[in-house]
Amino acid sequence: MMLSREVPSLPNPAHLGQFDPGNTGYISTGKFRSLLESHGSELDPHKREVLLALADSHSDGHICYQDFVNLMSNKRSNSFRQAILQGNRRLCSKALLEEKGLSLSQRLIRHVAYETLPREIDRKWYYDSYTCCPPPWFMIAITLLEIAFFLYNGVALDQFVLQVTHPHYLKNALVYHPQLRAQAWRYLTYIFMHAGIEHLGLNVVLQLLVGVPLEMVHGAARIGFVYVAGVVAGSLAVSVADMTAPVVGSSGGVYALVSAHLANIVMNWSGMECQFKLLRMAVALICMSMEFGRAVWLRFHPSAYPPCPHPSFVAHLGGVAVGITLGVVVLRNYEQRLQDQSLWWIFVAMYAVFVLFAVFWNIFAYGLLDLRLPPPP
């Protein structure tokens, strides 16, 4: 349902100079309207309303040429969004929720739109634009890999519940261990090791129920970035704040996504029209609290491999920090250029400073503090 597929007779964005012959950077709303009138019947009704609202919002009679190019490329700039939101024309058609006769796939797309987007105009745009190509492959692939590694490890250890208590658990090359912190891959690969089926189960449920819809709307690149940033922040936070403990599980990434989603709902409470949002937020917070409580209990439970303690819970907090900073900016800017957002660069800079600080901490602090670390597994 992309615009270029719907309207094959529309001019190619590379040949749109005819609408701005004087190279002024603007085109007249009259030319814009004439194009809509010529091809409006070929557009999705929702998109046609959005484009008309753009034309009506410019009382000076001109539209930014770059907005027009982006429009024909199915992209929306910040100025385009502001023109819609501040326009003097209201979208008058019925909301998506009121539409009848939708197929199962259309109802699913509509449900995802209402789950993740706070503005009706964004929901309509997403509903008309989504093609399921590519599918939400990132979260599904990560989940399948985590399950596969857990099953393999369970067979190898002959233990599936509380695997972390097995004496040979930490010998796996994927686990982050403070004595092996120079092996950089461990700061990321620890997500494929879980403390037990109870740990894996909750993480898988959360990242599928929250991560897949978010990826359907915002794409694999953005959601994958938030997830991986949460994972790395989680292991680095442990290396700084809980220096003697190992780390396992994907909770850093999961908590980054869930925290960003919950924060976005709270910040756009009146606009979010997902059903039972208060109850569902309460259930999500209870599940996160139970998982965090389990991690805290396990951390201070007598270790199965003294003097090394059980895995740390600090990775959860690192994920939350990423979610309420970088994650919120991503979710609040649907189809907008993140590089145009000053808040995005502020949080990216903060994240980079934290990563650099943690790297230098790992290089120098362990020796300066004369910390007694547990022996390598």
Contact assessment for residue 244 and residue 325, using Cβ atoms and an 8 Å cutoff: no
Helix (H) and strand (E) counts in the chain:
18, 2
The DSSP code sequence of 113-149 is: HHHH---HHHHHHHHHH---SS-SHHHHHHHHHHHHH
Peptide bond into 311 cis (omega under 30): no
Which active-site residues does the annotation give?
251, 316
Q: How far is CA 142 from CA 186, 191, 254, in A?
A: 16, 9, 11
Alpha carbon distance 289, 183 (integer Å): 31
Alpha carbon distance 112, 116 (integer Å): 6
- Tokens standing for residue 212: 């897949």
Alpha carbon distance 146, 194 (integer Å): 8
CB count in 10 Å sphere of residue 335: 17
Contact assessment for residue 212 and residue 139, using Cβ atoms and an 8 Å cutoff: yes
CB count in 10 Å sphere of residue 221: 10
- Tokens standing for residue 65: 């040429």
